[in-house]
Amino acid sequence: MAIRDLESDWNEIDFRVRLSDGRRAMAHLINVWHERNGWSHKVLPALVECLDLGRVHNSQISNLRNGKLASPGPEVFLALAQANALLHQGIETIGEHLSEVHPELLKALSDSAIPLTGDDSKPLGAGELFEIFLGLVPVPSCMDWAIEEHEAVWLSAAISDYLCNGKPWRQCRQELMAAYPVSKPQRRERFAEVMTGISDYSAEQLTGELLDLHKTYLALGGTFNTGVKGFLEDLRLRVEELKNQETP
């Protein structure tokens, strides 16, 4: 993760803008983390408390996710980093302890416990999280995208059309559900509903789903050389095609 050249842009970027950008970047990161795992904002604080990894409260996670936590203390980043490192190692090492002290938390983590990793596939540490929050470094490129609320409905339609390749849902249901890499029932149900057009992803949900939707696309035989951001741009092009089809 490359640090921005502060000497060259210190007089071009106001510190307030840098901090605001950092808070938005951290909100995006925390949102992706929670949406991919299907967690509530209570999961990480509960994990931190059960294993004495530091201090972070439910409200702090909620405010981080909404970009409203202006000045979290260093213990927040330390706690998140230590929880992240533990998840990267695998929950097998803590399963027995959690089964005794917090079985509900163990169930949530057993359903999904994907860590935050950088482009090098290593877990993000406290320093890296803090640098992102300060606006000193961008989020890892593997999670660097933005989806606006106004485009989420059209993107949902484009995803269905793109992954089904124009086929009716009944003809491709089994193949798509096998390709979708998520095991959590709630997310699988939501995915199926979006594919059938019963519901749409919100921008927040789609932000968290994009990595796994891209994996679905690859499992169906999609090309590897576009990456997640290229996949999103292809979806936006498909949106324009769908809009043109509706134009009389």
Containing structural domain, residue 224:
149-246
End of a domain among 143, 160, 179? 143
Distances (CA, A) of 159 to 47, 192, 194: 34, 11, 8
Burial status of residue 173 (CB atoms within 10 A of its CB: 0-12, 13-18, 19 or more):
middle
Q: How confident is the model at residue 77 (pLDDT cuts 50, 70, 90)?
A: very high
- Tell whether 84 and 163 lie within a shared domain: no
Short-list 96, 88, 73, CA closest to 33: 88
Total domain count for the chain?
A: 2
User: In this model, does residue 4 exceed pLDDT 80?
Assistant: no
For 75-81, what is the mean pLDDT? 95
Give domain status of residue 205, yes or no: yes
- Tell whether 16 and 139 lie within a shared domain: yes
End of a domain among 143, 169, 190? 143
End of a domain among 125, 143, 161? 143
Helix axes 185-196, 203-219, angle to 10 degrees: 90
Lowest mean pLDDT among 7-21, 133-147, 167-181: 7-21
Short-list 137, 181, 151, CA closest to 163: 181
- Tell whether 128 and 39 lie within a shared domain: yes
Q: What's the pLDDT score for residue 67?
A: 84
User: In this model, does residue 224 exceed pLDDT 70?
Assistant: no
- Tell whether 138 and 156 lie within a shared domain: no
Lowest mean pLDDT among 41-45, 80-84, 143-147: 143-147
Q: Residues 152-189: pLDDT tens digits?
A: 999 999 999 999 988 888 899 999 999 999 888 889 99
For 209-223, what is the mean pLDDT? 89
- Tell whether 79 and 164 lie within a shared domain: no
Six-digit token string for 184: 């959590």
Cα dihedral value 239, 240, 241, 246, nearest 10 = 90
- Residue 203 neighbours by CB under 8 Å, 6+ apart: 147, 148, 149, 151, 152
DSSP secondary structure of 45-66 = HHHHHHTT-----HHHHHHHHT
For 8-25, what is the mean pLDDT? 73
Give domain status of residue 1, yes or no: no
- Tell whether 118 and 45 lie within a shared domain: yes
Q: What is the mean pLDDT of the chain?
A: 88
Find out whether 23 and 67 touch, Cβ atoms under 8 Å. yes
Q: Residues 19-46: pLDDT tens digits?
A: 888 888 898 899 889 988 889 999 999 9
